[in-house]
Amino acid sequence: MTGEIIEEQELKIPVSIISKLYDSTGSEDGANKGYFLFYINEEGQPTLTSRMSNACVKIALEKTIQIYSEQTAE
């Protein structure tokens, strides 16, 4: 394994589950919806899929991942 995260091109997780995940995030008006989903694919590789309603949500989620990574590294 190379240590890199693969961005999922062909999602193996059912679209209905991914849609429910997205719909369950953010506010009802849809202004701040989004997620990053990290998982291990069927080949045993770390994989990422994501969806965001706008760039601000992406920045906020990226910062949250950074903080989490720093805290768990201690």
In this structure, the chain runs to a length of: 74
- Given a contact cutoff of 8 angstroms between Cβ atoms, the answer to whether 35 and 26 are in contact is no
Global pTM? Answer: 0.78
pLDDT class of 62 with cuts at 50, 70, 90: very high
Region of residue 30 (left: phi > 0; alpha: psi -120 to 50; beta: else): left
pLDDT single digits (tens) 32-46: 999 999 998 888 888
- Give the chain's largest Cα–Cα span: 41
- Given a contact cutoff of 8 angstroms between Cβ atoms, the answer to whether 7 and 26 are in contact is no
